[in-house]
């Protein structure tokens, strides 16, 4: 049995063990604006999702992460679908995600109905150019 809920201050330790790219000020903002989710299975935290608004009008999933031992069991799909339903209920008609072209998650997003909408070439931390694909889905 699983449960998906908005993240809370009490999730801070788990969150920062999973998400190494967000600072505490942003975490507090995500919490207060219900823009971060926790996925629990049998009361154990195993996943997170956070989003922002692209152009102030399109929900943009910045990060979805599932504990490695729980991947390929439908947890990521359930978390993404929960987020999409929440966005529909808030009146949004599109959702956006992004990933690097060579990432496994690219196929995951395609399987869940996202389609490529463009891309950006962004240098990685070593200065190598990598293609980041933007993907959209009608809600």
Query: How does pLDDT run along the chain (139 residues), one tens digit per residue?
Result: 889 999 999 999 999 999 989 999 999 999 999 999 999 989 999 999 999 999 999 999 999 988 777 777 888 899 999 999 999 999 999 999 999 877 888 999 999 999 999 999 988 788 888 889 999 999 9
Token reading at 49: 């999702």
> Which residue ranges make up each domain of the chain?
2-138
Q: Which fold has domain 2-138?
A: Aminopeptidase (3.40.630)
Residue 73 is classified by DSSP as S
pTM (2 decimals)?
0.90
Q: Which long-range contacts (CB under 8 A, 24 or more apart) does 7-15 make?
A: 7/31, 7/36, 7/37, 7/38, 7/48, 7/50, 8/38, 11/38, 11/45, 14/38, 14/45, 14/48, 15/48
What's the burial of 77, exposed, middle or buried (CB within 10 Å: 0-12/13-18/19+)? middle
């Amino acid at each position: 049995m699983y449960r998906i809920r908005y993240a809370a201050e009490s999730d801070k330790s788990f969150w920062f063990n999973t998400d190494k790219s967000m600072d505490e000020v942003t975490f507090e903002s995500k919490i207060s604006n219900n823009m971060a989710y926790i996925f629990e299975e049998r009361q154990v935290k195993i996943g997170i999702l956070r989003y922002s608004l692209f152009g102030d009008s399109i929900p943009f999933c910045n990060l979805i992460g599932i504990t490695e031992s729980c991947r390929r069991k439908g947890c990521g799909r359930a978390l993404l679908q929960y987020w999409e339903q929440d966005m529909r209920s808030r009146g949004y008609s599109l959702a956006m995600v992004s990933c690097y072209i060579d990432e496994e998650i690219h196929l995951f997003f395609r399987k869940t109905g996202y389609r490529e909408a463009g891309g950006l070439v962004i240098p990685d931390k070593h200065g190598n150019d990598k293609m980041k694909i933007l993907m959209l889905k009608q809600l």
